[in-house]
Structure 1
Amino acid sequence: MKLFLSLALGYAAFLTSQSLVLAVPAPVSSTHSKKTLAQTVRFSPPQPPPSPPPGGRTRGGARRTPLCLEVKPQLTALVPSTESPPTVTNVWGWTTKTNPTLWFYMPYTKDSAYPTEFVLQDQQSNPIYQQAIALPSQPGVISISLPTNAPKMDVNKQYRWFLTVYCDQQKQSPPIYVEGVIQRVNINPKVTQQLQTATPLQQSAIYAQNGIWHDALTTLAQLRQKDPQDKALKTAWRDLLTSIGLDDIVAKPILPEKSE
């Protein structure tokens, strides 16, 4: 945990955001075909959180970790990122869930035997959830869900997460990691009403249009896990990932939650 705490020392305690009132997207017509709906699943980024910036990184490179296998694409967090002057990258996203799911492209497999860990910290950099992650049998997109017995995320508070891969069993060499911030928000009652009457694909589009990244991605990823060959869902997945610059992840398989 020293690594995670030291990584977070550069950031001041996060500021609690004001209550959010999200825009209501144009109603989605029930007469639209699935293909048309899929083309509407594009992310509309919200305003960045207040200063200090969240920082973070979406890609885990191996330039300083010669023990790690060179891979492309690299370890990647499926999370939007923005740039703040002069050179700060901000990796962050919204959710409406108390126990959300996060998604990552994992290029390393269980054959590498790299110790891998997910950590969630509160605004004071205190670890509130920590879990060893079993590597999959093949490279692909994996999900990490906060279990029901984990601390529930509070509305309008920011939480920092880390996914770290150690390239030696002793954890002596610098690891590969991705890092970002997740914030739980409330949504406009009108949007909630829309969600209640929408299909799952429509729900993903509504979440994306309102800047709720993690819910939009999780809804769509779970649809694709059930029907990976559906062309409309493939189009929606492509549009959503390319809208945040993750073109190289689009064709990667979405793996089952528990890989053997």
Structure 2
Amino acid sequence: MFTSQQLIYLIVVGLFPIGTQAAIAQSTANIPTPTNSSKSQQIMFKPPPSKGQPKSTSSAGSRGDLQCPQDATSTALSNQPPLIPLVPSDSNFGLTTAEHPTFLVYLPPTSAKQVILSLIAEDNQVYSQTFIPIKGEPGIISLKSVDSTPPLEVGKNYQWAVVLVCNEKPGPNDPVVTSWVRRVALPQLENYQKVDLKQANAYSQQGIWYDAVITLARIRNTQPDNQAVANIWTNFLKSVGLDAIATQPLRLEK
């Protein structure tokens, strides 16, 4: 019998095409500086109704198998959280309005040089897969499929998986975490293309997780010395059970 990690591996790695391009995160240029109102503002995520979620949303992997074998004896890893997808811990599921959503993952210190981001439809067909280079530094990174891959269809659920490639080629024992996403139609939000705290809060109140968290992450990433924004970001992650990585550094692509 296969373990859940090996089963995910067989699905997402066995069908990888040769020469997949590296993903490029969405631009964070021209993000406005938060106003003074952020000093007292808090943004808490409001989960959407559970209707329409996949039957099972459990994630593959556990702390013991979420690091590369060659890193297992590293003292740098001993006090670090394992590989963790940024998604509400009670559901392991989230909504997005994006055709090609950006996912966030906490990456522990690692000797690995790349990860693989895969999207899998509910019928277990691989929807897209992208090799993405990493630097191996601990922190929260952004992952996104290249725009040439098929866009997510509105109303459908997809499992996304991140495989940490421990050697030159993927192997069946490589660490893997999985989560779920469903694309929904864009709600009627004022200035939805503007990246600011008001927009992040609007997404949060409508239960659109991936859009809310990436909006906040981009603001936090461009305002590293703004303590008010840091507090908003930390409390936002804690509100969905991500306490273990709430204060970890952001290492988003510029």
- TM-score, normalised to structure 1, is 0.74
CA RMSD of aligned residues (A): 2.9
1:55-204 equivalences under 5 Å are 55-57=57-59, 60-63=62-65, 67-70=69-72, 71=77, 72-82=80-90, 90-109=91-110, 112-113=111-112, 115-169=114-168, 171-172=170-171, 174-189=173-188, 192-193=189-190, 195-196=191-192, 200-204=196-200
Query: Size of the alignment, in residue pairs?
Result: 221
Q: Aligned pair in 2 of structure 1 residues 180, 43: CA closer, same or farther (>3 Å)?
A: same
Match of 2:237 among 241, 249, 258: 241
Counterpart position of 2:226: 230
User: What CA distance in whole angstroms lies between the structure 2 residues aligned with 1:47 and 1:123?
Assistant: 19
- Measure how far apart 1:243 and its partner are: 0.6
Inter-CA distance 66–49: structure 2 relative to 1 (3 Å threshold): same
Q: Tell me the distance in 2 between the aligned counterparts of 1:114 and 1:61.
A: 20
Which digits, 9 at most, give the CA deviation of each residue in 1:130-154, with x for residues without a partner? 1112122521100012332121111
Q: In percent, how many aligned pairs have the same letter?
A: 30
Residue number in structure 1 paired with 2:32 = none
- Deviation of 1:4 after TM superposition, in Å, equals 2.9
Q: Distance in 2 between matches of 1:74 and 1:54?
A: 22
Residue in structure 2 matching 1:33, options 29, 37, 57: 37
Q: Distance in 1 between matches of 2:194 and 2:165?
A: 42
Where does residue 212 of structure 2 map in the other structure?
216
Q: CA deviation at 1:123?
A: 2.6
Q: Could you list the per-position Cα deviations for residues 135-184 of structure 1 after superposition, in whole angstroms to 9, with x for gaps in the alignment? A: 22521100012332121111111111100114344544522111011001
Question: 1: CA distance between counterparts of 2:66 and 2:253?
Answer: 30
Report deviation, 1:63. Answer: 4.3
Relative to structure 1, is the Cα distance of residues 62 and 5 closer, same or farther in structure 2, using a 3 angstrom cutoff? closer
Specify every segment of 5 or more residues in structure 1 that has no aligned partner in the other structure, as ranges.
9-30, 83-89
Letter paired with 2:69: L
For 1:140 and 1:174, the matched residues in 2 are separated by: 23
Q: Deviation string for 1:182-215 (max 9, x for gaps)?
A: 00112543xx23x459761111111111111100
Q: In the aligned structure 1, how far is the partner of 2:68 from the partner of 2:162?
A: 19
Q: Which runs of 5+ in 2 are unaligned?
A: 1-5, 13-34
Evaluate the alpha carbon distance shift between residue 123 and residue 197 of structure 1 in structure 2; reply closer, same or farther with a 3 A threshold.
closer
Q: Normalising by the residue count of structure 2, what TM-score does the alignment of the two structures yield? A: 0.76
